[in-house]
């Protein structure tokens, strides 16, 4: 079985990664879970102090589009952490690819339940 996987990297404003990680961990990730988004893994990049990543899995490209439209258009996001997160981001890039179940399992963060 293959899943559509998005790997998003955030280039953050210098010195803001700790704040970004706190908001992401305390507010955004629980919100994504409530919206049924499969967050595979997220966290600070190992290569510098101003980059963060988020890996999400979807059933298909259409599922990705529908779920992201619903989430990012929701009052919960817009009236919640949206502004505080966006002010910390310089830019971001998304890479979308198809992965099999075993590869996806290898990407999952072993510190949290799937």
Could you tell me the residue ranges of all domains in the chain? 2-101
pLDDT of 36 reads 95
Examine the pLDDT at 61 and tell me if it is beyond 50. yes
Spatial separation of the C-alpha atoms in residues 50 and 14, rounded to whole Å: 6
Examine the pLDDT at 20 and tell me if it is beyond 50. yes
pLDDT of 114 reads 42
pLDDT of 113 reads 46
pTM of the model: 0.90
Q: Which CATH architecture has domain 2-101?
A: 2-Layer Sandwich (3.30)
Q: Please count the other Cβ atoms lying within 10 Å of the Cβ belonging to residue 40.
A: 21
């Amino acid at each position: 079985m293959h899943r559509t996987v998005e790997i998003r990297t955030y280039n953050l404003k210098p010195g803001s990664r700790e704040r970004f990680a706190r908001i992401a961990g305390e507010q955004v990730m629980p919100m994504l879970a409530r919206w049924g988004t499969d967050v595979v893994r997220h966290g600070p990049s190992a290569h510098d102090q101003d980059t963060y990543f988020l890996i999400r899995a979807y059933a298909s490209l259409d599922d990705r589009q529908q779920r992201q439209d619903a989430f990012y258009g929701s009052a919960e996001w817009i009236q919640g952490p949206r502004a505080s997160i966006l002010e910390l981001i310089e830019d971001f890039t998304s890479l979308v690819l198809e992965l099999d179940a075993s590869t996806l399992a290898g990407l999952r963060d072993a510190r949290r339940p799937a």
